[in-house]
C-alpha cells in the first residue's frame, strides 16, 4: 500500500519533487522491490545515501575510489549507462567506516568494495548485523528492516509499477522498510 506521511523534506531524488512529501511504500511479508533494482549491489555509501550498481563491483568506479581516506577523496559512482546506478536514502542505527577514526580512515572505496570493511556497521552493540559491499537491494532492505531502519525508494520507481513480488527472502520487510503504527 502507498501511504503519504508527513516526513518533512528529504534530499533531491526522494519524493515527487524536492519540496513534495516522499512516498512510503510498505508491504508485509516478502516486499515488492522494483524489478529494475533486482540485480543492483551496494557499491558506495555517503551519509544517508546508499548507491547500488548493476555492474560487477570490481568494474564499478567513481572519482578517486582508489584513494584513502575515502571520506575525503571519493566521489559518487560513475554511471556509464542509464539505470546503472540506483541511489537510495536510508536511516537506521548504522555507521560508516569513517566513524571508527577521529581523523582519517585507512580505507579507499576500492578496498571497502573488496571486503576490507563493511559499508555499514552497528552503531551500538545490541545489533549483530552489518551491510557489506555487494549486498543486493533486497538484502539491504531486509537488514535495515530487521533493526527498525528505513529505506526510501525514488517515487519514479514506485510509480512506474515495475515491482516484482518478493520471494520471502525479505522476511517481513517493506520497500520503505518501515513499520507503520
The percent of residues in the chain predicted with pLDDT above 70, rounded, is 69
Pair 34, 40: CB distance under 8 Å: no
Q: How far is CA 152 from the centre of its chain?
A: 8
R_g over Cα of the chain: 16
CB count in 10 Å sphere of residue 50: 23
CA–CA dist 69, 127 (Å, integer): 26
Which residues, listed in sequence order, are joined to residue 34 by a DSSP beta bridge?
163
Q: Which residues of 3-37 are buried (b: 16+ CB within 10 A; e: fewer)?
A: eeeebeebeeebbeeeeebbbbbbbeebbbbbebb
H-state helical runs in 33-123? 70-73, 109-113
Q: What pLDDT sits at residue 100?
A: 79
Q: What pLDDT sits at residue 141?
A: 93
Instruction: Tell me the three-class secondary structure of 12-27, residue by residue.
Output: CCCCCCCCCCCEEECC
pTM of model > 0.85: no
CA–CA dist 39, 28 (Å, integer): 22
Pair 95, 71: CB distance under 8 Å: no
Q: What pLDDT sits at residue 61?
A: 97
Pair 38, 137: CB distance under 8 Å: yes
Q: What is the mean pLDDT of each run of 10 residues along the chain (181 residues)?
A: 32 31 36 79 97 96 96 95 94 91 89 96 87 96 93 75 36 33 35
Amino acid at each position: 500500500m502507498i501511504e503519504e506521511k508527513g516526513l518533512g523534506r528529504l534530499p533531491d531524488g526522494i519524493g515527487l519533487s524536492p519540496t513534495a512529501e516522499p512516498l512510503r511504500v510498505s508491504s508485509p511479508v516478502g516486499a515488492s522491490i522494483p524489478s529494475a533494482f533486482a540485480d543492483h549491489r551496494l557499491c558506495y555509501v555517503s551519509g544517508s545515501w546508499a548507491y547500488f550498481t548493476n555492474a560487477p563491483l570490481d568494474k564499478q568506479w567513481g572519482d578517486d575510489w582508489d584513494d584513502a581516506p575515502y571520506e575525503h577523496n571519493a566521489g559518487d559512482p560513475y554511471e556509464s549507462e542509464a539505470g546503472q546506478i540506483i541511489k537510495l536514502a536510508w536511516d537506521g542505527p548504522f555507521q560508516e567506516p569513517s566513524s571508527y577514526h577521529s581523523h582519517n580512515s585507512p580505507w579507499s572505496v576500492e578496498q571497502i568494495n573488496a571486503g576490507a570493511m563493511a559499508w555499514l556497521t552497528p552503531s551500538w552493540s545490541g545489533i549483530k548485523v552489518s551491510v557489506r559491499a555487494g549486498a543486493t537491494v533486497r538484502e539491504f532492505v531486509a537488514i535495515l528492516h530487521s533493526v527498525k531502519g528505513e529505506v526510501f525508494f525514488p517515487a519514479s520507481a514506485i510509480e512506474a509499477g515495475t515491482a516484482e513480488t518478493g520471494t520471502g527472502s525479505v522476511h517481513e520487510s517493506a520497500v520503505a522498510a518501515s513499520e507503520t503504527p
